[in-house]
Amino acid sequence: MSAETRLKELDITLPAAPKVLGLYRPMVVAGGMAYLSGHGPLKEDGSLVTGRLGLDMDVESGYDAARLTGLAMLSTLKANLGSLDKAGRLVKLFGLVRCTDTFVDQPAVINGCSELFRDVFGDDFGVAARSAVGANSLPAGMAVEIEAIFEIAE
């Protein structure tokens, strides 16, 4: 089943692709791979989910922020490729979680994005190599920042 069909079945409507806020490209295609720059958790009103896990956010709210980030990443992928069906295998996911020094549940937070990608692309193409690490600070105080590498489907 195609990723576009799965989106419809899951009743997921993608937000508009995020606007660039600096000197970078949100996605670069090179050598048959799509490299997505770090994305943050954008709310419908365009503001970011901010906070620090272990201080003013719990794992569930961090998970929700990571899922929002994944939706923004899917929007960027679709805007650049024309269709999510042109994305092949998710190869690597790298997640940063803004958290306290004692917070240790970064993987559970980043699961919000990982599970979304698995649901959209399936177990074979949507589950990747992954890192989930803590960060003391992220741009604009956002709770998570995630980047990804996808193969381009042939």
User: Is 39's pLDDT higher than 90?
Assistant: yes
Write down the pTM of the prediction: 0.96
| pLDDT for the residue numbered 19 | 87
**Rounded Cα–Cα distance for residues 30 and 89 (Å):** 15
Residue/partner pairs of 115-118 with CB below 8 Å, 24 or more apart: 115/67, 116/67, 116/70, 116/71, 116/74, 117/70, 117/90, 117/93, 117/148
| pLDDT for the residue numbered 88 | 92
CA distances in angstroms from 144 to 37, 89, 91, 99, listed in the order given: 13, 23, 20, 9
Q: Is residue 116 part of a domain?
A: yes
User: Is 154's pLDDT higher than 80?
Assistant: no
Average pLDDT, the chain: 96
| pLDDT for the residue numbered 100 | 98
**33-39 β-sheet, strand order:** 27-30, 33-39, 144-152, 87-98, 129-135
Q: Is residue 26 part of a domain?
A: no
**Rounded Cα–Cα distance for residues 60 and 109 (Å):** 7
pLDDT digits (tens, 9 = 90+) for 7-32: 999 999 999 999 888 899 999 999 99
Q: Is residue 127 part of a domain?
A: yes
Please state the domain count of the chain.
1
Q: Is residue 42 part of a domain?
A: yes
What 3-state DSSP class applies to 145? Answer: strand
Q: Is residue 25 part of a domain?
A: no
| pLDDT for the residue numbered 1 | 76
Q: Is residue 86 part of a domain?
A: yes
For 116-133, what is the mean pLDDT? 96
Q: For the residues of 25-79, what is the DSSP string, one character each?
A: -SEEEETTEEEEEEE--B-TTSPBPB--BTTTB-HHHHHHHHHHHHHHHHHHHHH
Burial bucket for residue 147 (CB in 10 Å: 0-12, 13-18, 19+): middle
User: Is 90's pLDDT higher than 90?
Assistant: yes
Q: Is residue 24 part of a domain?
A: no
Range of the domain at 112: 3-17+32-152
| pLDDT category of residue 153 using cuts at 50, 70 and 90 | confident
Q: Is residue 23 part of a domain?
A: no
DSSP code at position 146? E
| pLDDT for the residue numbered 16 | 92
Q: What's 51's domain CATH number?
A: 3.30.1330.40
Proportion of the chain above pLDDT 90, given as a percent: 94
1 vs 99, higher pLDDT = 99
